[in-house]
Amino acid sequence: MKKQLRPRLLVMMIPLTLLFVFVVQSAYGADPTKKLLTLSFNKTPLATALKTVEKESGCKVLFTYDEVQTYHVTATVKKEPLTHAMTAILKGLPFQYKLNGKFVVVSKQAQAAQTVQKAAVNKVFGVIVDEEGEPLIGVTVRIKGTGKGTITNFDGEFTLEDDNRKTPLLFSYIGKEDIEKLPVYGQSMKLVMKDSQVGKKLDEVIVVGYGTMKKRDVTGSISSISSKEIENKMATNVYEALQGSTAGVQVVSGSGQPGESSTIKVRGTSTFSSEGVSPLYIVDGAPMESIDDINPSDIVSVEVLKDAASAAIYGSRSANGVIIVTTRGGQEGKPEINVKYYHSWGKLSHKVPQANRADRLFYDQARRNYFLTYGGGNPDQSMDILQDPYNYFFNVDNDYLDMITQVGNKDEVDVSIGGGSKALKYFVNTAYYNERGIIDNTGYQRFSTRVNADYSPSKWLSMGSRMSLSYSKKEGVNEGQLLSSVLSRRPYFNTTYSDGSIVGVFNGQKNPLALINYTTDFTNSYKANFYQYFNFKFNKHLSFRTNINANFYLDKRKKLIPSLITDEWQKSNNGYSYNYLNWNWMNENYFTYTRNWGAHHFTGMAGMSVQKWYYENENIAGMNASTDYIYTLNAFAANLDLSATGSVETRHSLASFYTRITYDYLRRYLLTLNVRRDGSSRFAKNNKWGNFPSASFGWRFSDEPFLKGARKVMTDGKLRVSYGVTGNQSIGNYEYVYSYTPSNIYDGVGGVRPARIGSSDLKWEETRQFDLGLDLNFFNNRLVVTADYYYKYTDGLLANYQLPKETGFSYIRKNIGEISNRGFELSISGDIIRKKDLTWNASFNISGNSNTVEKLAEGKAYMEGDIWWMQEGGHIGDFYGFKCLGVFPYDESNAFTSDWKQLTPVFENGVFQYKYLLNGQEYTGEVHKKRLPNGQAFRGGNYNWEEPKGTENGIIDDNDRMVIGNAMPDVTGGFNTNVKWKNFNLYLGFYYSIGGKIYNAAENNRNMFKYDGTTPSPYTIYNMWLKPGDNAIYPRPFNDEYNNGRMGNSFYLEDASFIRLSNVRLSYDFPQTIAKKLFMKRLNVYFFANNVLTWTNYSGFDPEFSTSNPLQIGKDSYRYPRKREFGVGFNANF
Amino acid sequence: MFKINRIIYLLFAMSMLCSCNSFLEEDTISEVPADKMWQTARDAKAGVNEIYGLFRQTMRENYFYWGEFRSDNVAPGAPVMADQARVINNLMSTDERCAKWTNLYAMINQANLCIKYVPQIDMPDVSDRNDYLGQAYAMRALGYFYALRVWGDVPLFTEPIEKEEQDLYRPRTDAQYILENVIVPDLKQAEKLINRNKNYERKRISIIGVWAILADVYMWMGNYSDADQTIEKMKSIDYKGAKFMQLAPNIQSWRSMLTEELNRKPSDNTPDNDEYTTKELIFLIHFDMDEVGANGYSYMYQWFSGSGNRAAVLSDKFMDIFNQEDMQGDLRKDLVSKDYQNGYELRKFMAGDISNSLNKTCEIAYPIYRYSDMILLQAEAKARLGKWDEALELVKQIRDRAGLQTPLSTEFSSEDEIVEFILRERQVELVGEGRRWFDLLRTGKWKTVMGPINGLKNDGNEVFPIHFSHIIENPKIKQNTYYGE
């Protein structure tokens, strides 16, 4: 194997080696005027000689051809600098030279020039450069007030015949400030054109992989969010900053639990595995495993690379998009101190109705009557309560949601200092964040600090460090257990015994208050990121950068379930300690070469990187400690749970080579090419390497001469097309390996079994993406429109393919199939009012995505989780289950025609008349009943399940499941608006998700009538079927073999659409005079509210929740409810 | 300046050249690559041991679901245990947990691996190797025997699955074919391979264990004479100068066998040492909290005690047996049952009083085969073979211990009657041991016994449903007709 790999690597090394040789040579000639020249001329025409000098030295030699035409040179120069060579060449000739930067201007000596004065005085010539000294091509030079003029050539030079000495020349160029200057005759004019402030927005620099680009030159689809937007949203993490602010980026927060992470989906789901669904996070150039603990106030900008062309530079990890976070660096100048503080109060935003005491007693009595009539369960199961309702223990009416929730609090303090000199800049930020959740004993604390420093010791070297450290503590509850006990525990069960002691487990159910107050479960996370770069600048064109990066993540979870809440006998407790260390290092090295040849602008980048990850898990579990007081595992040493105790280590490495070329002509035709080659240890020998090329093309049509007239309206217009391949390798570290793992311990011996079936064919998941985009800017940023259409096709989807369980394995990691995603994105932003005292701007974005499962392994449809269906031609998020047509009122209502139209039985005074009606007419044909496979007919009070069209046979079994809805929203997006009036600023942020369904599994669970202890919702209790003739909404209150309570029932499918006013922020800037009196530069106070209003038809806590598995979306089990939050705060600058 | 650069780049270029070759080779650290497995005696031991671990995982719930809950021994316990109640009340649908064969087949695959690889291992002692192999054969047979008793025809795998390219999608194979061509030959192999001079394990399969399964299989097949002979052979095995198989001599030792010997037996990893004082246990599933963890405890306590979440109580029909004339004074009655909170609890495996001395972290082993089970099987076989006196002689051993009189053969008028008598004795003796439902199935009495209780009387209802996920995963599997098409 190693032999196979070597030649391939060598081939890849060749371009790099060549580049290396090139670097050394270029370094040699960094300053052209210092270069030693060896020249020899023998009666050579002067013009030829000067051209030779130009060629050898690399300087631009300016002369007038007519003047030198008749002169010849004989001279020899040996390893002399330029000045000596020029002197030698011009010796004895009537010429003089002047060195001006890299220009050598050769002109006739004064007396000699007299004769041609007439011609020379009228000639204005010169060169025009930008701020970096690069010649500007195509600059319009006009004599003011006349139509007379010219444009600069490929070297930025112009020559103009002009005899009107008093009229200034007007120089103009797109994106640059105009210059007006009186002409200078006879000598070269050198003009520097500065970037225009008006065009600034277009010239914003945005971060792309391994470099930056001017926004106007970007040919891919990239969204960018600034620190101002983040501040307005009162974001506590990057996810909140992104939510609703960018088209095509769907951010769904997990739940209301403090410190809960979110999921980000860029342009739909293009992968099947939960590990690989999140985008790649790059923070200041370094890939990160998580961005949860990044303090939003450290952030300058967040860029989302959406299309393949932008993302492909990150190759194998970019299929789900790339999110680049750039943190603040210091600014040159005096130290600036910034202090921020806010406090907020939160309250449960939406309550779910719960049965009260009376409801539950009604339910108990109804069930008792039901069992007495129909059997099935034990009629006496709640008798003791019904007969003794004033017993201390049953004589309460609990509203558990009220009891477990409280007012949550949030504080954040942030102190930063930034400043520096030209050579050294620094930024230090320290922040403390503390959130106490709306459920007691839940919370999240974060202490983070960041030090960013940049240092340029010399012209050719700059270096910098990014260092961030954070500590966080997340205290949580088991959401599922808590909320299921909240929603289902009988409302009349007391939470304390008569002696005042708290109830733990009673009647098999846990007391939610005991769960909250007695569980210990917290995770301490320690994170450290170190990043160091060195940038070597060899000359104006070529630089080399090397980055070294190391990330450390350590999570330590401690858990103690005390004996009080483990079981009714309170004999046992459980302790758990989990340590997870993940650290990785990376080194990347790349050259960047920038050069302009005339109107041809070229940038090349090439490099390589290596990265390695180390993961280490340590679990210790124990039970039956002698005390409930100690949560650490020393208390459990006597009774360790050996099956859950142990450590596991895995590793993963990635090697990459990448290159990018950007080229444009006249800044009008733009081209970017990327290629990345990634090798990953996660694939079998023959599949380790993957290639990820991409190309994008941009056309700035607004610069075309034929649209010149439209420029007043359309400031800028660009069309983008891109196509590329991105990859995904987010799977376990050894998925292709067939190996054995320690497993069950039996009778003192550890067993060993196969960990998995190996799949040596396992290969990269590849997403090919086409993107067509349009950027329009009208009236100087008054209205900015960006629209994109994309088509993504992913093949080799990495997923867990469910194997027949009789093989002894559950699943195999496999390239399972192919999926396509297509969608559009549109964002519109603009300034509606632009006045001195009043500005109002607004932005709106919308995106839609639809996906199709194109191919599945063996063409075989399969069930994902317990409720989703994956089939070719289907869609991710398709719910699979039984379609509910309502509840039969009578046994006789289960009557259908031969083509399964339901008949209406005729009753008179409650007695069936053996007659059926069909559409009001008496029906006399054959009557069919729906039955269980065993022949039993469905009765009154059973759900009437619909059979899929064409397969109706009256037998309701597993074959009668069908796709009953889809979880994916049709469109998502946001709407943000900001009004500034004098010193007041008001920001409103909305986001929305329209379409899609939620399977309300929490509601399904509580209304199953399966467990006696479970309390259904009040609406259910009063709408269940109890006797023949009931036109009920819910079925019989007992789940028998007819399985009315089954999971996967279209009845529990609800519309997931919502619009949310998520952020409101009103701030006031104190006038400078007042701020000054307080020794401040600036003081800003604000009021804010989050999660203010939600418009939705969804009946659960919240239509927004996320799941880690991208295929198992939209199933609402019990999640921590969200809060509505109000707060106040200030920002002060010193 | 450029010299420094030159050195830096040379260093980079060199480091890139030499490091990339092996950089992408990551070996598993916490797993054994397949080609490094099955090399030593330790590997054989670990591999075979895992079969038992997986068997425990399989049987933890299903011991009761498969063998006990469908029988007339039990009635629903508490309303919170709805899944158990559905099985007891014959209300099963295709989403029942006990309808999954995932763990059972994981165990069968593990046995297949051992059968393939153990013979290739170079071990110092060939008899040790054969013993491991014999255990694997016996456990595979037991696995399939459970499978076909639960579902009828099942897919057949006799070689391990190691590659995706293997034939993974197989239809169900005729149960009779599996019995004749896999189970019986496997047990015959095991009989030859197991080390009779060293393996005296009761937590694992010994020669007695092989014979117990074989006898059970013969009975299932109606091959009474082979069953009779197989059980007879058990009496030939000696251990330290005494018989390896003996009935617990009296009701006290019977009691202590079930409550103490099964409970918390320390792990003992020496097959040549029989750590049990009782000589009645043949093969049991060992539970040890340290090994199974907080969520793998034995259900002997939790499912049968406490009103809150007990899965099942003894049925009135079962308790009524003790009222029958010849059962009065049965010493076992108060040892197996206790009237507690509106139900007769199965207290057979509980030493103390449940309400204050026990907890859910239960380490009671599950007896799979017991000598009294074999004695009664042999009695049934002999009765079927017309040897009524011998049959009753065997039953007498059990009834004597229970303090009961045993009738004479003359008191029976038909073979059916005497078999019915033996079956009732089995029901009482083996209650709570996952045997009764299979007895009803084996003797074809399930319709008449269960029909009046829960309507379990229609053809096809005697098998369990196959979990719907198995059918989706492998479309070649067809559902048992009672539960779907």
- Chain A residue numbers with beta carbons less than 8 Å from the beta carbon of B78 are 508, 1012
Q: How far apart are CA B38 and CA A1126, in angstroms?
A: 64
- Which CATH number among 1.25.40.390, 2.40.50.140, 2.30.30.100, 3.20.20.70 corresponds to the domain B223-287+297-443? 1.25.40.390
| Interface contact flag, A808 B16, Cβ < 8 Å | no
Q: How far apart are CA A1 and CA A509, in angstroms?
A: 59
| Interface contact flag, A804 B163, Cβ < 8 Å | no
Give the end-to-end CA distance of chain A in Å, rounded to a whole number.
Answer: 62
Complete DSSP assignment for A1072-1092: HHHHHHTT-SEEEEEEEEEEE
For residue A509, the model assigns a pLDDT of 81
For residue A9, the model assigns a pLDDT of 40
In angstroms, the separation between the Cα of residue B134 and the nearest Cα of chain A is: 17
A707 burial (CB, 10 Å; 0-12 / 13-18 / 19+) is middle
Beta-carbon contacts of residue A610 (< 8 Å; ≥ 6 apart):
A586, A587, A588, A653, A654, A655, A656, B19, B20, B23
| Interface contact flag, B157 A806, Cβ < 8 Å | yes
For residue A201, the model assigns a pLDDT of 52
| Interface contact flag, A757 B268, Cβ < 8 Å | no
Q: How far apart are CA A461 and CA A457, in angstroms?
A: 6
For residue A228, the model assigns a pLDDT of 83
Q: How far apart are CA A743 and CA A731, in angstroms?
A: 22
Length of chain A, please?
1134
Give the CA count within 13 Å in the CB-facing half-sphere of A957.
25
R_g of chain B computed on alpha carbons: 26
- Chain B residue numbers with beta carbons less than 8 Å from the beta carbon of A803 are 168, 473
- Chain B residue numbers with beta carbons less than 8 Å from the beta carbon of A811 are none
Nearest-CB residue to A1039 (from B47, B82, B479): B82
* Alpha-carbon distances, residue A233 vs A223, A343, A354, A1061, B235 (angstroms): 17, 15, 34, 11, 82
The residue ranges of every structural domain in chain B are 1-195+467-479, 223-287+297-443
Nearest-CB residue to B30 (from A610, A650, A738): A650
β-partners of residue A443 are A436, A475
B31 touches chain A (CB under 8 A): yes
- Residue of B16, B267, B476 to mutate, interface with A, max A Cβ within 10 Å: B16
- Chain B residue numbers with beta carbons less than 8 Å from the beta carbon of A744 are 49-50, 52-54, 56-57, 291
* Alpha-carbon distances, residue A69 vs A64, A384, B184, B477 (angstroms): 9, 121, 111, 96
Closest to A699 (Cα-Cα) out of A1089, A188, A217: A217
3-state secondary structure chain B: CHHHHHHHHHHHHHHHHHHHHHHCCCCCCCCEEHHHCCCCHHHHHHHHHHHHHHHHHHHHHHHHHHHCCCCCCEEECCCCCHHHHHHHCCCCCCCCHHHCCHHHHHHHHHHHHHHHHHHHCCCCCHHHHHHHHHHHHHHHHHHHHHHHHHHCCECCCCCCCCECCCCCCCCCECHHHHHHHHHHHHHHHHHHHCCCCCCCCCCCCCHHHHHHHHHHHHHHHCCHHHHHHHHHHHCCCEECCEECCCCCCCHHHHHHHHHHHCECCCCCCCCCCCCCCCCCEEEEECCCHHHHCCCCCCCCCCCCCCCCCCCEEECHHHHHHCCCHHHCCCCCHHHHEEECCCCEEECCCCCCCHHHHCCCCCCECEEEEEHHHHHHHHHHHHHHCCCHHHHHHHHHHHHHHCCCCCCCHHHCCCHHHHHHHHHHHHHHHCCCCCCHHHHHHHCCCHHHHHHHHHCCCCCCCCCCCCCHHHHHHCCCCCCCHHHCC
- Residue of A744, A1007, A1040 to mutate, interface with B, max B Cβ within 10 Å: A744
- Chain B residue numbers with beta carbons less than 8 Å from the beta carbon of A641 are 289-290, 293-294
ipTM: 0.92
User: Are B1-195+467-479 and B223-287+297-443 in the same CATH fold?
Assistant: yes
Instruction: Find the Cα–Cα–Cα–Cα dihedral A28, A30, A34, A40, rounded to 10°.
Output: 60
- Chain A residue numbers with beta carbons less than 8 Å from the beta carbon of B7 are none
A871 touches chain B (CB under 8 A): no
A735 burial (CB, 10 Å; 0-12 / 13-18 / 19+) is buried
- Apex A969 CA angle, A964 and A975, nearest 5: 160
Q: How far apart are CA A285 and CA A551, in angstroms?
A: 12
B-contacting residues of A 659-688, CB under 8 Å? 679-682, 688
CATH number attached to the domain at B1-195+467-479: 1.25.40.390
- Residue of B7, B14, B26 to mutate, interface with A, max A Cβ within 10 Å: B26
Neighbouring CB atoms inside 10 A of A916's CB total: 22
**Chain B residue with minimum CA distance to A1008:** B82
Q: Which residue has the tokens 């060598």?
A: A10
For residue A115, the model assigns a pLDDT of 43
- Residue of B36, B37, B49 to mutate, interface with A, max A Cβ within 10 Å: B49
Q: Can you count the helices (H) and strands (E) in chain A?
A: 17, 60
3-state secondary structure A556-615: EEEEEECHHHCCCCCCCCEEEEEEEEEEEEEEEEEEEEEEEECCEEEEEEEEEEEEEEEE
For residue B41, the model assigns a pLDDT of 93
Nearest-CB residue to A805 (from B26, B458, B473): B473
**Chain A residue with minimum CA distance to B50:** A751
A323 burial (CB, 10 Å; 0-12 / 13-18 / 19+) is buried
For residue A226, the model assigns a pLDDT of 84
β-partners of residue A98 are A105
Q: Give this prediction's pTM.
A: 0.83
For residue A10, the model assigns a pLDDT of 38
Beta-carbon contacts of residue A789 (< 8 Å; ≥ 6 apart):
A771, A772, A773, A822, A823, A824
CB A107 within 8 A of CB A90: no
Closest to B387 (Cα-Cα) out of B212, B224, B217: B224
In angstroms, the separation between the Cα of residue A438 and the nearest Cα of chain B is: 30
Length of chain B, please?
485
What are phi and psi for residue B106, nearest 5 degrees? Answer: -65, -40
Return the exposure string of B170-195: e unless at least 16 CB atoms fall within 10 Å of the residue's CB, then b: bebbebeebbeebbbebbebbbebbb
Q: How far apart are CA A531 and CA A452, in angstroms?
A: 9
| Interface contact flag, A1041 B91, Cβ < 8 Å | yes
Complete DSSP assignment for A97-157: EEEETTEEEEEE-HHHHHTTHHHHHTEEEEEEEETTSPBPSS-EEEETTSS-EEE--TTSE
**Chain B residue with minimum CA distance to A654:** B24
Per cent of chain B over pLDDT 90 is 76
Handedness of CA A375, A380, A385, A388 (dihedral sign): positive
For residue A1, the model assigns a pLDDT of 36
Give the CA count within 13 Å in the CB-facing half-sphere of A345.
4
Q: Which residue has the tokens 């985009």?
A: A773
DSSP class of A69: T
* Alpha-carbon distances, residue B245 vs A452, B158, B161, B238, B282 (angstroms): 78, 32, 37, 8, 8
β-partners of residue B370 are B281
B271 touches chain A (CB under 8 A): no
What are phi and psi for residue A1079, nearest 5 degrees? Answer: 60, 35
A13 touches chain B (CB under 8 A): yes
A505 burial (CB, 10 Å; 0-12 / 13-18 / 19+) is buried
For residue A31, the model assigns a pLDDT of 62
Q: Looking at the predicted structure, is the pLDDT value of residue B129 above 90? A: yes
What are phi and psi for residue A1004, nearest 5 degrees? Answer: -55, -45
CB A309 within 8 A of CB A722: yes
* Alpha-carbon distances, residue B365 vs A739, B347, B350 (angstroms): 31, 14, 12
Helix B224-234 vs helix B207-221: crossing angle, to nearest 10: 160
Q: In the structure, what pLDDT confidence band is assigned to residue B324 with cuts at 50, 70 and 90? A: very high
For residue A610, the model assigns a pLDDT of 93
A1010 touches chain B (CB under 8 A): yes
- Residue of A752, A945, A1007, A1046 to mutate, interface with B, max B Cβ within 10 Å: A752
| Interface contact flag, A750 B49, Cβ < 8 Å | yes
Give pLDDT < 50 ranges for chain A: 1-29, 111-119, 198-199
3-state secondary structure A669-711: EEEEEEEEEEEECCCCHHHCEEEEEEEEEEECHHHCHHHHHHH
Handedness of CA A862, A864, A867, A868 (dihedral sign): negative
Closest to A487 (Cα-Cα) out of A1037, A1117, A1034: A1117
